[in-house]
Structures are given as C-alpha cells and as structure tokens.
Amino acid sequence: MYKAVVIGASAGGMYAIKTLLASLPGNFKIPIIIVQHLAPDSDNYLVEFLDKNTGLTVKEADEKEVVQSGFVYVCPPNYHILVEENMSLSLSADEKVNYSRPSIDVLFYSAADAFQESLIGIVLTGANDDGARGLFYIKKKGGLGIVQNPSEAESPQMPTAAILEANPDHVLEIRQISKLLLQLANKNQDKNSL
Amino acid sequence: MKSDSDNTLREKIEIDLLIEAVNRFYGYDFSNYSKAHIKRRMMVFLAKHRFESISEMQHHVLHNPQVFEDFLNNFSINVTEMFRDPGFYSEFRKHIIPTLKTYPYLKIWIAGCATGEEVYSFAIMLKEEGLLSRSTIYATDFNSEALQKAGKAIYSIDTIKSYTANYQKSGGKSSFSDYYMANYNSVIIDKSLKVNVVFAEHNLVTDGVFTEANLIVCRNVLIYFNRELQDKVLALFNDSLITGGFLALGTKETIQFSTIANKYSIVSKENKIYKKSII
C-alpha cells in the first residue's frame, strides 16, 4: 500500500507536473510532495498555477506540517524539504546538493527512509542529474520508481540519468504516469476495504 | 526488490546511540533536532570521512576530539549569506527601523549567527540608518569555530556578486563595495562594522536567558528543531526580549503553534517579524 508520491522535476517541469496533476481526480488519496528546481527568489506562482489546474489542493509546504491525503505539497524555493518518520515535513537551508536547493535527492532519500516500500518516486524532465541517486535509494528501500520517457521530456537529461542510475520499474509518458498512479491508488482502496 | 528493513532498523539504532554518546560525553544535545535532518547530516559526514557505518563513525567521534570538532561543524548550519531574503531586510527597514530609532540605546541578539554573514548585514543596515553607534549586537552560536570565522569577517570573493545583488534588492542606500576590502580571493568586512558586535558562545538547546534585548533575530535555526524544542527556544526568546521588542524568524518559521503566540502581534506575516505585546 502506497502512502506517498514524491516527484522531482527541473527544466520544463512546470508543464510536466501540471499535465500529471491535471489528470488526477480531487479524491486521489495518496499525498504528493514535489521538488521543482526554482530560482531562489521565485514567488508563489508555481503553487498557484498548479492549484488552478488540478482538483487536488496544491500548497507550499509548511515547516513541520503533517502530510495529508488530497494535498500536493510544493517545496518552497531556496530550501530543501525532508520527510520525517511521523510524516511531517521539515525544511532546511543546508548547502546545495547537485547545485540545487531544493534538491530532489534530499527529498527522495528522506522520504524513502520515512515511507520505506510504501513510496512512489517519480523523476520528470530536467537538464541535470538530481534525483537519480535518490530514486536508486527509493528502489533500494523497496519503493516504486517511475521515470518520464526521455523522448517525451522537454529536457531529457534528468530522466535519462535516473534510468541509468536507478533502473526504474516504469518509463512512461506523463499521461501514462497519471493513469498508473490512479490504478495504484485504486489498489490501495481495495486493500483498505478488505 | 525486497524491503531493506534490517538496514533501516540498524541505522536508526546507530543514530540514536551516537546522539546519546555525543550528549553524554561532550554535552551537546541533538536529541530534539529534526530526525531527518540529523540523519542527513550524519550521512554527509559519513561520506566525507569514508566511514563504513555510523557505528564506526561513533568510535572516531568519541575517541578523537578533532573528529568531534569536525562533526560539530557539520551539524551547525554554516550555510548563510549576506542579506538572505532581501525582502525581509527591505521590510525591516521600512517598518521596524522607525520604531528602533525612538530608542536611545539598542540591544540586539542575533542567535545562531554561524559565520556572521547576517550579523554584518544587520550592521550595514543599522549603520545606514544611523543606529549602529548606539547599538550593541550580541552574536551567538554554539559552534566556536564558526564564531571565530564570524569574528575574522573574511569571506570568499566568489560570494560577493550574489551578496551585492541581495544588498541592492534589500534597499541598500550605498554601494556594497564600501563595506569590504578585496584581497586576492577573499574580502574582509570593514572594521567599523565590527566595533559594536560582541561574539559569544551560547547554545540555544542548553543555555538560559541571554540578555534583555530590543530585538532578537534567529533566522533558519528553528527549522532544524522538533516542535518541542522550538517551543522551548521561543520561550527563551520571550524571556530575553523587552516588552514591545521585536522577534524576527526565518521566512518559513512561525510562532503560530507555540505557547508564546498569544503574547505577540504580527508585524509582517510574510517575513515573520513579531512584536511582543504590551499586556
């Protein structure tokens, strides 16, 4: 049973994430946590843009907030985001990782520690290799790894790096990723009703 | 792939044991820090020293004080920049400085000052507002090595470009280059900015009330603590702040969920500046 989805994206990510979230219904039960590489002085535009384009509630992650079903949490610019064992979110102003703050690897490592095999990790478009090692670690902890098909990605470098490093379970186009997430969430439901 | 649960359990035990060892032997208490943060810092340290496991790391940390010094440095977040969040400084100039100008003498506590970038940002702002000469800035941190660096006020020249941009965005009234001297690959902050600064060791986790301050600045420190410790430190700030004094936190930190929340009014919601109410 999956308890969380973590998504990492960089160049071209805004529209890729939008497409992914737009195909998920408002009653999609698994909480989603997103790292999108942003300039440190970015405003709240990404959160507002995503929120307008999905039935789910998109918000900037607050420090120590506990993740909940029906919500999409976006990491604020110039901070790393980490997941605690009690499913709350921590922020950090630590040094950049992979030249990035927020870094996808930082989110993926801590989420894998917190959720173990109950985690889905997704790497989308981007022009660097952040997220590759993190996805490897998610898979090591028994979680599910999904990568956007590089041929569809606006910037193929990041998904390509993740495929090489982490040997993901699925390499799919964005719309297929949404479909798969829905199927997995429905399986969760079935297990719940048993 | 099979679940990695044995390794996970082993690591958790090792982390707890190391935290206890460091507290009992060296007196630094990290038990109420964010667990995910602790784990990350330990893994960074482990990779740096190429230890095989956290148990091996514990051996070296306990037996070699130099390794411990490095461990401590790795735990205090020394990633800071001058005029980080320029919007905070410009709002501070506009809305807090006018009140501060009504005081004959100012005591400012910058808690968790690390390597001092924020201290000098404040010193520059106070100088430009004509307040520095009647201010004392107490800059504290638990890390003595970071404090030494802060006192030396020497920074890498690579950082200056982004600091200059921050300074300009923050509403700086002069040219940023007025405040430092460049020398090869580093810059040294102008001495006049240091005159009213007192650097001191103080651990927010274990030490008590520090001073009666008009302003306490503690930005991006509380995020590394759990709620319980955040609450304790905010109570310490409350005890160290005069009535009508200001408390400035990091832009993602809040007093909202703490026991002192009802004693403060919000001066800036966005930039997390609070004022201790006159009850």
Q: Could you tell me if B36 lies within 8 Å of chain A, comparing CB atoms?
A: yes
Q: Could you tell me if B250 lies within 8 Å of chain A, comparing CB atoms?
A: yes
Instruction: Please say whether the beta carbons of A106 and A80 come within 8 A.
Output: yes
Give the whole-angstrom CA distance, residue A124 versus residue A153: 7
Q: Which of B27, B45, B75 is the last residue of a domain?
A: B75
B139 and B167 part of one domain? yes
Give the whole-angstrom CA distance, residue B224 versus residue A91: 8
Mean pLDDT of B18-35: 96
pTM: 0.94
Give the whole-angstrom CA distance, residue A86 versus residue B87: 33
B216 and B263 part of one domain? yes
Tokens 């969760």 label which residue?
A188
Burial class (CB in 10 A: 0-12, 13-18, 19+), B242: middle
Q: Residue B235: inside a domain, yes or no?
A: yes
Mean pLDDT of B153-164: 93
Is the CB of B36 less than 8 angstroms away from the CB of A82? yes
Residue A130 known to be catalytic:
yes
Phi/psi at A168 (5° precision): -65, 160
- The per-residue DSSP string of A106-152 comes to HHHHHHHHHHGGGEEEEE---SS-TTHHHHHHHHHTT-EEEEE-TTT
Q: Residue B222: inside a domain, yes or no?
A: yes
pLDDT over 70 (residue B139): yes
pLDDT over 60 (residue B157): yes
Is the CB of B4 less than 8 angstroms away from the CB of A140? yes
Which of A4, B244, B268 shows the shortest CA–CA distance to B255? B268
Q: Residue B53: inside a domain, yes or no?
A: yes
Give the whole-angstrom CA distance, residue B39 versus residue B56: 15
Cis before A102? omega within 30? yes
**What would the pLDDT profile of B265-276 be if each residue is shown by its tens digit?**
999 999 999 999
B109 and B25 part of one domain? no
B129 and B252 part of one domain? yes
What is the structure's pLDDT at A194?
A: 55
Q: Work out how many domains chain B is built from and give that number.
A: 2
Residue A155 known to be catalytic:
no
- Give the model's confidence band at B1: pLDDT under 50 very low, under 70 low, under 90 confident, else very high: very low
B56 and B98 part of one domain? no
Domain that holds residue B66: 5-75
Q: Residue B90: inside a domain, yes or no?
A: yes
Q: Residue B80: inside a domain, yes or no?
A: no
Q: Which residues contact B10 (CB under 8 A, 6 or more apart)?
A: none
Instruction: Please say whether the beta carbons of A115 and A84 come within 8 A.
Output: no
Q: How large is the ipTM?
A: 0.92
CB atoms within 10 A of CB A109: 24
Q: Which of B32, B55, B75 is the last residue of a domain?
A: B75
A contact set with B (CB within 8 A):
41, 62-64, 76, 79, 82-85, 90-95, 106, 109-110, 113-114, 116-117, 139-142
Q: Which of B27, B43, B75 is the last residue of a domain?
A: B75
CATH of the domain at B219: 3.40.50.150
pLDDT over 90 (residue B6): no
Q: Chain A residues with CB inside 8 Å of B146's CB?
A: none
Catalogue all structural domains in chain A, each as residue range(s) with its CATH number.
Answer: 4-193 (3.40.50.180)
What is the structure's pLDDT at A188?
A: 82
Is the CB of A90 less than 8 angstroms away from the CB of B3? no
pLDDT over 80 (residue B121): yes
B229 and B124 part of one domain? yes
B121 and B232 part of one domain? yes
Mean pLDDT of B94-123: 96
What is the structure's pLDDT at A85?
A: 94
B99 and B193 part of one domain? yes
Q: B13 is written with which tokens?
A: 């035990």
Instruction: Please say whether the beta carbons of B75 and B203 come within 8 A.
Output: no
Q: Residue B59: inside a domain, yes or no?
A: yes
pLDDT in tens, chain A (194 residues): 999 999 999 999 999 999 999 999 999 999 999 999 999 888 899 999 999 999 999 999 999 999 999 999 999 999 999 999 999 999 999 999 999 999 999 999 999 999 999 999 999 999 999 999 999 999 999 999 999 999 999 999 999 999 999 999 999 999 999 999 999 999 887 776 65
Half-sphere exposure of A23 (CA within 13 A, CB side): 16
Is A89 in a helix, a strand, or coil? strand
B178 and B120 part of one domain? yes
B190 and B272 part of one domain? yes
Q: Residue B254: inside a domain, yes or no?
A: yes
Q: Chain B residues with CB inside 8 Å of A91's CB?
A: 223, 252
What is the structure's pLDDT at B5?
A: 82
Q: Residue B81: inside a domain, yes or no?
A: no
Sheet containing B186-189: order of strands: B154-156, B186-189, B180-183
B180 and B227 part of one domain? yes
B102 and B223 part of one domain? yes
